[in-house]
Amino acid sequence: MSIAVLGSGAFGTALAISLACDGPDITLWARSATQATAMQKDRVNEARLPHANFPASLHITADLANLKEQQTLLIAVPMQQLAHFIDRNKAHLANKTLVACCKGIDLQSGLSPTQVIRAILPEARTAVLTGPSFAHDVAAGLPTALTLACEDSKLGQMLQTALSTSNIRLYRSTDVTGAELGGALKNVIAIACGAAIGAGLGESARAALITRGYAEMRRMADVLGAQSETLAGLSGFGDLALTCASEGSRNFRFGLSLGRSEPFDANITVEGAATARACHEKAKELEVDMPITAAVTAMIDQTLTLKQAMDSLLARPLKEETC
């Protein structure tokens, strides 16, 4: 199976390195021709993964027309840019297998990654690759387990075999809805956890946010028809645990800045910010109770301070614990 990775951010680059380390030729597409030339010459992505050298079998291009032979394309562009990217490059992406490697909900349409792809390319063969992973771990060859979700079980089996590497172990699922929701919503909870730690509220507060945030994720997943087992797996609870507990997460670091009332680098993509807004709107539409998501959205939009957000959560009616 011929494979290319579209998107030379940290995670796209890391995936390409891991796939190429196992031998087959892999092509990594970069949006910038200047960046592509530099990476091909220096054999490293200096801007995103400066300490991860490229294997000899990793090739770089900035021209999607060079990917005519690659039938499986891993799309690792930011979620809020996905729709524009797919629409602009429809001719190059048609009749390919497209594996979404981004996490989130499109703010404009409220669609998940594979839904965005199919809205523009209805005949596309789609799957999603998601789960607990940091780019630097993947690129360094450290063991990582991910979920490969595909509604077509036969295609899913083929992709599972083709995309597994010596350090990436893939678990297969047909529950695309659950896998995508887990990957999207955990970023919102990570922002909340970062804000709590940044404000000095302590580890107990973080544990409470993780637990109750997981309950929110499951409530939304249940309404949208996802399987509860998926949310308990790598793409749900596993990704939630990693993202809420490490400063390696951009969403957690963004939350830290909120909690500390510090500015955050605008050049760093924080998928959870847009996802919080999109999920908050969807929760209102579907009448799903998601108070942490609402509080995070209000903090991002600066309609509530952190103290006001925490006070609103603590003032909620006492209830029996149920998921």
Tell me the catalytic residues. Answer: 186
- The Cα–Cα gap between 150 and 152 comes to 5
Helix (H, G, I), strand (E, B) or coil at 249: coil
- Region at 146 (left for phi over 0; alpha for psi -120 to 50; beta for the rest): beta
Look at strands 58-61 and 49-53 and give their pairing.
Answer: unpaired
- How far is C-alpha 303 from the geometric centre of its chain's CA atoms? 26
Return the bridge partners of 53, or none: 44
225: how many CB neighbours lie within 10 A of its CB?
9
Pull the structure tokens for residue 23.
Answer: 């031998």
8-state DSSP, 54:
P
**Smallest Cα–Cα separation from 235: which of 221, 223, 246?**
221
For residues 10 and 136, the answer to whether their CB atoms sit within 8 Å is yes
- The Cα–Cα gap between 149 and 144 comes to 16
Helix (H, G, I), strand (E, B) or coil at 147: strand
For residues 229-259, one letter each, b for 16 or more C-beta atoms within 10 angstroms of the residue's C-beta and e for the rest, the string is ebbebbbbbbbbebbbbeeebbbbbbbbbbb
Largest CA distance in the chain: 61
